[in-house]
Structures are given as C-alpha cells and as structure tokens.
C-alpha cells in the first residue's frame, strides 16, 4: 500500500530495456507502409465480438468517417448500440434485416429469405464505397446455418470490395474458408461468465 | 448461388430443433435473476480488448447511463474514441492519466506516479457511484509492470465498489488473482494480424 521506494538500479535497467523496446518497435512500424481496407473477423465463443466491432464503428465515427451496419441476426437485446449510433445522424446507415434469433422464429425459409435480403443490402453498401467500415454483424451465424453459401461471400469480398473499404464480420464459428481470406482475425474466448452464477443479462452491459 | 429449393423435411426438422433450443434457452434465462455490478476483464494478446470495452461504454451511453473512463496508459493512437465520447457531453467522464506507453517514456518513477494518480482517480469514481460503468483501460499493463500492487486493487474492488457499479478492466496479462475475483473474463486471441503482411495502423481502424 506504500509508495514504492526509489530504486535507481531497477529504474536504470528499466530505462535501458524500454529504450531497446522502443527502438525495435519504431523499426517495425517503419516497415508498415501499406494502407488498405481490411477484412476483419471477430469470432469465438466469448463475449465482445459484436461489441468490439461496435467499438471500431464508434472510433471511425469519432473521426467523422461514415459507417454502415448490417445486422444479419436481430437480437432482441441490442438497443444500446442503436441509440448511441443514432447520435451520429447521417454518418451512420443502420440496416437491421435479421428476423430474430433462429430459435425464436423456428421458420427456416423465412430466415433464408431474410439472410438473402441482408446480404444483397450488404453488397450494395460495400460496392457503393461511401462507408469507411461496413459491419456485417453476425454474418457467421447465417453462414453456419447455410442460409447463405460461404463461397458466394468470399467471391464477392475478394473481387468486388473497393480496396479502401474495411469490412468487419462477427459471429461464432467463422468458416475456415472465410478466415483464409481475412486480414485480421480475433477469437474471443470465454474464461468466466456470470450466467454460471445466476446473474441475468443487464441493461447497458449485455444489451 | 441459386436460392435454396424449399425442402419441407429439412425445414420441419429445423423448426423442431429450434423449438427445443428455444425451450432450453427460455428455461435457462428464467433462472438468471441476480442483478449486480460486474467486474469484467478483457485480456489476451489479440485485438479488441479496449475496443470491446468502449463498445460497452457506448451501449450504456445509448441507454443514457453515465460512464467514466480512466486510461492508465495513454496511447498516442486512440483519438477516435475520445472524439466519439465527447458527443455524449456530460454523460461521460474521461480521465487520461497515463503518460504514454512505457517504452516511449523510459522513466519508471514517472510511470509509477502516473499509475498511482490514475488509480486514486479510479477509486474516487467507483466509490462515487454516479457511473453505470467505470472503465479502467489498460490497468492490467500497469499491474504487470508492478506500478501498482495488485492486492490493493483487489481489496478495493471486493470491499469498496458499490454493488450496482460495473467495472471493466482491460489489458493483456491480467493477473490470476484479479481473474479470480472477476465475474466475466474474456480472452482475445490473435489468429491473424495484418502487421505480418506489412499493413500499417490505419486511422479509424487502429486509432
């Protein structure tokens, strides 16, 4: 609890170590010169896949860059993000086209039609090139259930996406073939979850 | 590429399966009745730790809940979030108290003093109870370098945090003892990173 005493030796070693670290880092950064729109995937069973994507969306909005969001699976819970996005007015295009989680609807043909409609909208938004990021929220779920052919998505992204547009794709179970063409893939792993101890989903945290 | 033909058998089986899934899910949800402020940790080497935390912050702001952010390590790059947060005016308290990445400063005593100052601010904000979420961004880094004693942080969170306040802690290498007292822990794992192919950090994506 007390302040750490001054320790000149530790401090000197630390300064030396950090100086080296900075030199290595600066050198690495100098080699990174390519600017291009990335294909980014957030997958895994843990929390934070969509939330981190929304964080990126807000970061872009902070810079004044327009952003589009296509929700492939409409969660009954995600209202906070929508309210927050609406603050940014015309900078944001929100497209909620999913029909609710599939275990809510129990109607496969309706889900397939909704997925197709969402994907056509996504293609128009990406091709249009007016948005810095196009977020395809929960697209992986739709691919997982074979509501859309993954090869069609890959073909489109690798041939028709304008170079400078970033596409962010979320959802667990990202198909391997999609991971193959992505630039940045993060897996969110659940280490501990409060549901296990009976805590319910809470406003402003889960939704 | 063609629309999937109607397949009554598949669809019927699907409806049955999803009905069961919904029943199980509804049953589980009914047991989740506890509401409490969580201690949430985002750790791991992957991207998205702070970004997902910022996503939660924006979700809360969307609901009109006040939020406080304490940045323990000031990154030169994180400007997008700040601009976006400023849109929410008085709902947000932003406290950037870190002095830059430690390999930028190379001054250990200054970093320790900065960490102490940030932690005192964090304690006041948490104890104050006026914020739905208090985000302690990159606190794990500070703990990792022993700029703050982890036991002091644990003692405070377990005894002085008001029940309803959510605390979100980010940074790689979260200490085991901190994970022990947390309610929700997610590890972000890097599967693929564009730096490997020479792509540089880009405005609106990385910062």
- The DSSP result for chain A, as a single string, is -PPPPP-HHHHHHHHHHHHHHHHHHHHHHHH--B----EEEEESSSS-HHHHHHHHHHHHHHTT--EEEEESS--TT--HHHHHHHTTGGGEEEEE---S-HHHH--HHHHHHHHHHHHHHHHHHHHH---SEEEEETHHHHHHTTSS-HHHHHHHHHHTS-TT-EEEEE-SS--HHHHHH-SEEEEEEEEE-GGGGTBPP-TTTT-
Task: Give the pLDDT confidence score for residue A109 in this predicted structure.
Answer: 85
- Cβ neighbours of B143 in A, within 8 Å: none
The confidence score (pLDDT) of residue A159 equals 96
Contacts of A156 in chain B (CB under 8 A): none
Q: Do B166 and A191 touch (CB under 8 A)?
A: no
Domain region containing A81: 35-197
* CA dist., res. B99 & res. B107, Å (int): 10
What's the average model confidence in pLDDT over B48-74?
91
B206 in a domain, yes or no?
no
- B80-100: pLDDT as tens digits: 888 899 999 999 998 877 665
| pLDDT value at residue B15 | 81
From B122's Cα to the closest Cα of chain A, the distance in A is: 16
CATH of the domain at B56: 3.40.50.300
The reply to whether A182 falls in a domain is yes
Identify whether B7 is part of a domain: no
Alpha-carbon Rg for chain B in angstroms: 21
The answer as to whether B140 is a domain residue is yes
> What are the phi and psi torsion angles at A201 (to 5°)?
-65, 135
With a pLDDT cut of 90, the percent of chain B lying above it is 51
pLDDT at B2 over 50: no
What is the least distance, in Å, from the CA of B136 to any CA of chain A? 15
State how many domains chain B has: 1
Other residues' Cβ atoms within 10 Å of the Cβ of residue B86: 11
Q: What is the pLDDT along chain A (207 residues), one digit of tens a residue?
A: 444 555 668 888 878 877 877 777 677 666 665 678 999 999 999 888 999 999 999 999 999 999 999 998 876 446 788 889 999 999 999 887 766 555 566 678 888 888 999 999 999 999 999 999 999 999 999 999 899 999 999 999 999 999 999 999 999 999 999 999 999 999 999 887 765 556 667 776 666
In a mutational test of the B interface, the residue from A25, A47, A56 whose CB has the highest number of chain B CBs within 10 Å is A56
Contacts 24+ apart (CB under 8 A), B124-131: B125/B68, B125/B70, B125/B93, B125/B95, B126/B156, B126/B157, B126/B160, B126/B161, B126/B162, B126/B165, B126/B167, B127/B160, B127/B161, B127/B162, B129/B162, B129/B164, B129/B165, B130/B66, B131/B65, B131/B66, B131/B67, B131/B68, B131/B93, B131/B165
Asked whether residue A13 is domain-assigned, the answer is no
* pLDDT for the residue numbered A152: 97
Give chain B's mean pLDDT. Answer: 84
pLDDT at A76: 43
- Count of CA atoms in the C-beta half-sphere (13 A) of B45: 4
* Residue B53 pLDDT grade (very low, low, confident, very high; cuts 50, 70, 90): very high
Q: CB distance B108–A53 less than 8 Å?
A: no
| B29 falls within a domain | no
Question: What is the ipTM score, two decimals?
Answer: 0.70
Q: Are residues A83 and B62 in contact, defined by beta-carbon separation less than 8 angstroms?
A: yes
Q: Is A58 part of a structural domain of the chain?
A: yes
Higher pLDDT, B97 or B133: B133
Q: Does B60 map to a domain?
A: yes
The per-residue pLDDT for range A135-178, each reduced to its tens digit, is 999 999 999 989 999 999 999 999 999 999 999 999 999 999 99
């Amino acid at each position: 609890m007390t302040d750490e005493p001054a320790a000149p030796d530790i401090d000197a070693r630390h300064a030396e170590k950090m100086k080296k670290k900075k030199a290595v880092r600066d050198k690495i950064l100098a080699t990174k010169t390519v600017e291009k729109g990335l294909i980014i995937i957030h997958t895994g069973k843990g929390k934070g896949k969509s939330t981190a994507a929304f964080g990126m969306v807000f970061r872009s909005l902070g810079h004044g860059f327009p952003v589009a969001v296509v929700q492939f699976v409409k969660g009954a819970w995600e209202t906070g993000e929508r309210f927050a996005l609406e603050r940014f007015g015309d900078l944001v295009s929100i497209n909620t086209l999913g029909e609710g989680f599939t275990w809510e609807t129990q109607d496969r043909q309706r889900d397939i039609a909704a997925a197709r409609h969402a994907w056509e909208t996504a293609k128009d938004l990406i091709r249009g090139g007016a948005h810095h990021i196009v977020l395809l929220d929960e697209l992986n779920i739709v691919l997982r259930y074979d509501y859309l052919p993954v090869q069609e998505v890959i073909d489109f992204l690798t041939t028709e996406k304008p170079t400078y547009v970033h596409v962010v794709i979320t959802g667990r179970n990202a198909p391997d073939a999609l991971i193959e063409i992505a630039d940045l893939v993060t897996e969110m792993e659940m280490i501990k979850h409060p549901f296990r101890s009976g805590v319910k989903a809470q406003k402003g945290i889960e939704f």
